[in-house]
Every structure is written in C-alpha cells, then in structure tokens.
C-alpha cells in the first residue's frame, strides 16, 4: 500500500470509529431523554424494541440465504463483515460443528460510554440496549442465540455471543 493509500485507510478507520461512537452518544442521549419523559423501565423497553427491529431488518439482507441450522456459517459471515476488518470489535472465537461463539474484547459503543463518564448501572443498561441489535440480527435467522452483555464484574471486555444450530442437541 502506498503512503497516500495508507493515510486514507487510517483516516477512514478513524472516521468509522467516530461514527460508531456517535451512535453510542445517540443511544445515551435518547435513553436520558426517554427516561425523563417515560421512566427508566419504559425507556429501556422502547429502545430495545426499536434496536432489535433494526437488527431484524439487517438480518434479512445479511443472512437471508442461511437457515436455522447454519449457525457456524452465519457466525463466519458475521465475522467476515466485522467493521474495519474486525479491528473495531476484536473477538475471541470458539468454533464447533454446530455452534460458534464470540467473546467481544472491545466495543466502541462501550468505550464511548465509559469516556462519557457513564456509571456502571447505566453502562449495563446501555449494553443491554445495544445487545438488542444482535438479538434481532441473529434470532431472525432461526438459530439459537445466547448473549451475555456487560455487567459490573464482567471484566474489561464486552458481550459474549453464542450461536447454535436450531436442531443441535443440548
């Protein structure tokens, strides 16, 4: 890669990270506004429903060719389109014949919330809200989906996602 190409790639990487952080700021501000108007429980429920619906919309385009027993293939397709070549959401991946699991080590949304001074309780709420996108995305395929979002004591990483073929034992 030539120097101008490398500089452009680095600039695009920074801009992409900034766009994801902007998304995080919007979630945080929307939660604050909705909580003030409707209360914490209703605000979280509205945001979760909305963000989960967006995940379902994306699933149609991203995973429409897969079925409920294609969990490993869905997971690999997900990794293949991870922003910035996977650098934005680095993961540890566990693969099996009927499942795939991700431990997300870094999330630009969580990073932005921590930098904004969000406390642990609100951080856990925002992570649950953001995790609704993944639920919508993966449950729309019919695979079994499990997601543990960040909570206090969870460590420095982020969410843990597991996809399993619908008909797998267990």
* 127-168 pLDDT, tens digit each: 999 999 999 999 999 999 999 999 998 888 899 999 999 999
Q: Give the three-class secondary structure for 169.
A: coil
In a domain, 170, yes or no: no
Residue 157's CB is within 10 A of a number of other CB atoms, namely: 16
Check whether 1 has a pLDDT greater than 70: no
In a domain, 101, yes or no: yes
Predicted pLDDT of residue 156: 81
Chain center to CA of 29? 18
Residue with tokens 């989960």: 52
Q: What's the sign of the alpha-carbon dihedral 128, 134, 138, 144?
A: negative
Which CATH number covers residue 66? 3.30.1380
Structural domain tally of the chain?
Answer: 1
In a domain, 46, yes or no: yes
In a domain, 169, yes or no: no
- Domain with 118, as residue range(s), is 3-164
């Amino acid at each position: 890669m030539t120097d101008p190409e490398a500089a452009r790639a680095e600039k695009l990487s920074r801009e992409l990270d900034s766009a994801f952080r902007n998304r995080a700021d919007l979630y945080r501000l929307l939660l604050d506004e909705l909580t003030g108007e409707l209360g914490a429980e209703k605000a979280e429920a509205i945001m979760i429903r909305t963000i989960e619906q967006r995940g379902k919309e994306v699933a149609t385009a991203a995973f429409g060719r897969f079925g409920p027993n294609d969990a490993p293939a869905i997971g690999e397709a997900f990794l293949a389109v991870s922003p910035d070549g996977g650098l934005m959401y680095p993961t540890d991946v566990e693969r099996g014949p009927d499942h795939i699991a991700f431990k997300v080590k870094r999330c630009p949304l969580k990073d932005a919330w921590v930098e904004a001074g969000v406390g642990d309780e609100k951080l856990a709420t925002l992570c649950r809200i953001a995790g609704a996108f993944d639920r919508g995305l993966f449950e729309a395929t019919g695979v079994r989906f499990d997601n543990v979002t960040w909570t206090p004591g969870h460590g420095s990483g982020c969410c843990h996602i597991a996809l399993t073929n619908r008909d797998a034992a267990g």
